[in-house]
Amino acid sequence: MDETTKYQLPESELPTHWYNIQADLPKQAPPPLHPGTHQPIGPADLAPLFPMELIKQEVSSEREIAIPDEVREVYRLWRPTPLVRARRLERALDTPAHIYFKYEGASPVGSHKPNTAVAQAYYNKQEGVRRLTTETGAGQWGTALAMACNFFGIGLKVYMVKVSYEQKPYRRSIMQIYGADVVASPSADTNAGRAIRASSPDTPGSLGIAISEAVEDAATRDDTKYSLGSVLNHVLMHQTVIGQEAIKQMEMAGEYPDVVIGCAGGGSNYAGIAFPFMREKLAGKRATRFVAVEPEACPSLTKGEYRYDFGDTAGMTPLVKMYTLGHTFIPEGIHAGGLRYHGMANLVCELFDQGYMEARAYHQTAVFEAALQFARAEAIVPAPESAHAVKAAIDEALEAKAAGKRRVILFNLSGHGYFDLAAYDQYLAGKLQDFAYPADKVKEAMAAVPVIA
């Protein structure tokens, strides 16, 4: 009975640096290209959208970058987050595997997103930026940035995908509690928004459209910059506090993971848990397996092609080399809104391409089945995105059982599902829909991907 459940680090063990995996990549990652010239972009190209310190981090080859005291002070409100040994789940599965999860749902907005939101708001404030814009789907990112902007006294305008704005009012409420200005996207406030409203008055909106609006807003106002919640190098780097803490907590538990698992939409929570462990693999010290988990309805790593593509629907962003389903691909309306992205962070793609990690895709119903099993064992209701990692962890544990082998499994529970309960209602009512891999739609979207010489 006196077995530890939660491995809790004291605040004094809060990481002092972010880990920049660019310093350790065996083969350098391909640079982003200018959308017009197809030439590698420089800092000046990004300056209208991002503060210089984040641009420097984006291209930095320094291994460790110090976390400013002001950022660590905010992290302390909820960090270090607990590492939990899922003993009840292990017993329910009757597996010899040891299952650990890092619980990022412990943040005030219920996900890992504040790890980068706080850093981004801080650097913008430092450089005199008075207002930020961003896009959000279901609202995890928007709530995190709203909290961060409130702390640093910066204004925020959030372009929230229309269907979520209407169907999921509660994350919108939280953004407003923190003082953010939230509009449904496409909105009447930008040229991009107005054009789409004119041509498709009934559109439910999409992340790609919302990005176009937020970027236009920031690019056309001197006091305003833009903030992105995933995909970019500096965003992934800010998330490495997760894995760094987990390394120390696994030491407390006296174990080292055989496999590290995270769900992957844009790639930031996966990178957050994986990169600090990957550092030891890249250094040749460990043979750890890494698994990124995607929805079958939007399987960029498992079914996409590794080539240059735009980050947004309208083609306004730089071209980034990534496993892509085509920037015009609109995934079906699965409940894991944070995984509905056509591409993937370049750094994750590069590690996948270089063979350092695996990827797998699951259907929605199987994911919710795993989520329910987890909730009944461990009490926490996972976010639909995070439930993809839960499903993979359960499968790994069952494989270990079948093989009669010990296996130490670590996954990132990137968020809780208390704002996603309508999805659970549908699952419990047997009304949840599965979506097959949309081969035809992807083929069509891939035809629109620019060909780079």
**Which residues of this chain interact with a second copy, rule CB under 8 A?**
1, 4-6, 8, 10-11, 69, 72-73, 76-78, 84, 88, 106, 108-110, 147, 150-151, 169-170, 173-174, 176-179, 372, 375-376, 378-381, 418-419, 421-422, 424-425, 428
With contact defined as beta carbons under 8 Å apart, do 383 and 113 qualify?
no
Nearer to a second copy, 109 or 400 (CB): 109
117 exposed, middle or buried (CB, 10 Å; 0-12, 13-18, 19+)? buried
Residue among 65 and 381 whose Cβ is closer to a second copy: 381
CB of 400 to a second copy, least distance (A): 23
At its nearest, how many Å lie between a second copy and the CB of residue 91?
A: 11
Q: Which is nearer to a second copy, 136 or 313 (CB)?
A: 136
- Name the residue nearer to a second copy (CB basis): 5 or 200: 5
CA distances from 303 to 66, 199, 308, 342, 435 (A): 37, 31, 15, 11, 15
Q: Which is nearer to a second copy, 379 or 439 (CB)?
A: 379
Instruction: State the nearest-atom distance from the C-beta of 82 to a second copy, in Å.
Output: 9
Q: Cβ(131)–Cβ(224) under 8 Å?
A: yes
> At a CB cut-off of 8 Å and minimum separation 6, what does 352 contact?
292, 301, 323, 358, 359
Helices of type H across 295-433: 300-303, 346-353, 364-378, 384-403, 421-428
Q: Which is nearer to a second copy, 97 or 148 (CB)?
A: 148
In the complex, the smallest distance separating the C-beta of residue 121 from a second copy, rounded to whole angstroms, is: 13
353: number of Cβ within 10 Å? 18
**Shortest distance in whole angstroms from residue 325 CB to a second copy:** 32
Q: Is 295 helix (H, G, I), strand (E, B) or coil?
A: strand
- The minimum distance between CB 179 and a second copy, in angstroms, equals 7
* Spatial distance between the Cα atoms of 218 and 90, rounded to a whole number of angstroms: 48
Phi (first) and psi of residue 346, to 5 degrees: -60, -40
Cα dihedral 122, 228, 65, 101 in deg (nearest 10): 110
DSSP assignments along 51-78, one per residue: -HHHHHHHH---SEEEPPHHHHHHHTTT
Give the three-state DSSP class for 453: coil
Supply the minimum distance, in Å, between the C-beta of residue 427 and a second copy.
9
Q: CB nearer to a second copy: give 88 or 303.
A: 88
Closest approach, Cβ 73 to a second copy, in A, equals 6
CB of 11 or CB of 166, closer to a second copy:
11
Q: 179 or 204, CB closer to a second copy?
A: 179
Q: Least distance from C-beta 72 to a second copy, angstroms? A: 8
Which of 112, 84, 80 has its CA nearest to residue 16? Answer: 80
Q: Which of 285, 255, 270, 279 is nearest to 99 (CA)?
A: 255
Min. distance of Cβ 216 from a second copy in angstroms?
Answer: 27
Neighbours of 262 (CB within 10 A): 32
Residue bearing tokens 């399987």: 299
Measured from the CB atom, the residue of 182 and 196 that comes closer to a second copy is: 182
Distance separating the N- and C-terminal Cα atoms of the chain: 63
